[in-house]
Amino acid sequence: MARVHVIANQKGGVGKTTVTVNLAAVVADTLGGNTESPRVLGVSTDPQASMLEWATRVGDALPFDFEQCHDRPEVLAKLRTITHYEHIFVDTPGSLEDERILQTVLAQADDVIVPLEPEPMSFSPAARSIARVVEPAGVPWRVLLNNWDPRDGSGDLIQTRGFVEAKGWPCFNTVIRHYKLHTRASAEGVTVVQYAKNRVALEARQDFFKLALEVLGSSSGGVPRHASDLQEASGADAVYAGAED
């Protein structure tokens, strides 16, 4: 049976679609399978369909199967019963109006990834989503710090780690750094696994490979780590030195 990973945060623009597409691409690429039979399914439940547009531009090079399902509640309510795939990654809407869709897919989730940008303006909306819909779903969930630009210094990252830790929220060790490559990927019709072969692209890709390892690691029954366990809380800029784009 497929493991259903839902990417959720009711704030728009935090990276749900970016994370869904690139994580699904890396996991599909890593697990192999052939183009006729990918082992990963990407599902968009967002009526704004930005994942659909992105997937359409990537075309045949998309390493996972894709379905746009915002208007197919009968499919969303049965995601867990799909046997054909090993992993299903579900992108969700970034608005409170579409909460019913979110509730439907959260009821099917094996785990939830909550992207959070390292800036104070993002904290309250994330806290609201977590308290209102993510925690009540009763499945393992973790916050993912996304879109951190090391050139801005580590202050925001340390502050965000502190906030996450104070809340007692489980958090991925991996931080997805800001790269223009990620911003441009949708318009250019590529996913991380198709980025050019150069050093900056390798760095950008590396974050998603690290994230995939954490996600796949917990698929075999690992316990999500709590923010308070993190060793990297203040040393992250040593680990994530020098992003460029």
Which residues form the interface with Mg ion (CB under 5 A)? 16-17, 50
Closest residue to Mg ion in the complex (CB): 17
Neighbours of 55 (CB within 10 A): 23
Q: How far is the CB of 129 from ligand ADP (least distance, A)?
A: 11
Q: How far is the CB of 204 from ligand ADP (least distance, A)?
A: 8
Q: Which of residues 213-242 bind ligand ADP (CB under 6 A)?
A: none
CA 5 and chain centroid, separation: 9
Among 6, 55, 164, 176, binds ligand ADP (CB under 6 A): 176
CA 13 and chain centroid, separation: 12
Neighbours of 123 (CB within 10 A): 18
For position 178 contacting ligand ADP by CB under 6 A, the verdict is: yes
CA 1 and chain centroid, separation: 21
Q: How far is the CB of 110 from ligand ADP (least distance, A)?
A: 21
For position 15 contacting ligand ADP by CB under 6 A, the verdict is: yes
Q: Are the beta carbons of 147 and 117 closer than 8 angstroms?
A: yes
Contacts of 62 (CB under 8 A, 6+ apart): 25, 42, 55, 191
Q: CB under 5 to 8 A by kind: which of ligand ADP, Mg ion, none does 198 bind?
A: none
Which region, judged by CB under 6 A, interacts with ligand ADP, from 12-20, 81-89, 104-112, 118-126?
A: 12-20
Nearer to ligand ADP, 80 or 213 (CB): 213
Q: Which of residues 73-102 bind ligand ADP (CB under 6 A)?
A: 94
Q: Are the beta carbons of 67 and 44 closer than 8 angstroms?
A: yes
Among 3, 4, 10, 17, binds ligand ADP (CB under 6 A): 17
Interior/surface letters 78-97, b for 16+ CB within 10 angstroms, e for the rest: ebeeeeebbbbbbbbbbeee
Residues of the shown chain interacting with ligand ADP in the complex, contacts defined by CB under 6 A: 12-18, 50, 94, 146-147, 176, 178-179, 182-183
